[in-house]
Amino acid sequence: MSVALRGLDEPQLVQIAARLAPALRAGGVLELRGDLGAGKTTFARALLQALGVDARIKSPTYSLIESYRAGPLDIHHLDLYRIADPGELEWLGLAELTGGTSLLLVEWPERGGGALPPADLQLRLSHADPGRDLVAIAMSTAGAAMLDEWNPACAA
């Protein structure tokens, strides 16, 4: 199951991220894929704000992980751009960050190799003229339920 949206400007991307928030209330693993500047961090920041994070939302490019609490949801935002080897993730304790009401947002998941838990939902962002394209792909039964509840097409 997948959905593709084309030619999104930044306000539309932010609106679509905000519409995803309710579908993530049970937690899960969300991968954000795309080239530099494709909108991954913009999407993640808008999603975190819509989930109720009222703290300053920093990009985890240098810290690798930023964690937040929004209601009953523990949210862990990872940016693996600077990872050279998946073994570097061992010290993050990824197993303890998933399950229950935890949400794992992972930018550059391809750099994490097999060290990451399987994704429920994968978002592929790419540059388009004009704006950005977004393809959302359900990677699990939970991801299909998220995608069905989200229905991003009606936000574009």
The residue ranges of every structural domain in the chain are 2-155
Length of the chain: 156
Backbone phi, then psi, for 83, in 5-degree steps? -75, 125
pLDDT at 23: 93
Contact 134, 5 (CB under 8 A): yes
User: Does residue 153 contact residue 19 with C-beta atoms inside 8 Å?
Assistant: no
Do the Cβ atoms of 47 and 31 come closer than 8 Å?
no
* pLDDT reported for residue 156: 45
CA distance readout (Å), 66 to 23, 33, 75, 79, 107: 21, 18, 8, 9, 12
Domain covering 2-155, topology: Rossmann fold (3.40.50)
Q: Is the pLDDT of residue 154 over 60?
A: no
Q: What is the pLDDT of residues 88-139, one digit of tens each?
A: 777 777 767 776 789 999 999 998 888 888 999 999 999 988 889 999 999 9
pLDDT band, very low/low/confident/very high, at 82 (cuts 50, 70, 90): confident
Within 10 A of 31 (CB to CB), how many other CB atoms are there?
A: 25
Question: Per residue, what are the HEC states of the chain?
Answer: CEEEEEEECHHHHHHHHHHHHHHHCCCEEEEEECCCCCCHHHHHHHHHHHHCCCCCCCCCCCCCEEEEEECCEEEEEEECCCCCCHHHHHHHCHHHHCCCCEEEEEECHHHHHHHCCCCCEEEEEEECCCCEEEEEEECCHHHHHHHHHHCHHHHC
- pLDDT score of 153: 54
- Tell me if the pTM is above 0.85: yes
Can you tell me the distance from the alpha carbon of 20 to that of 129, in angstroms, rounded to the nearest whole number? 24
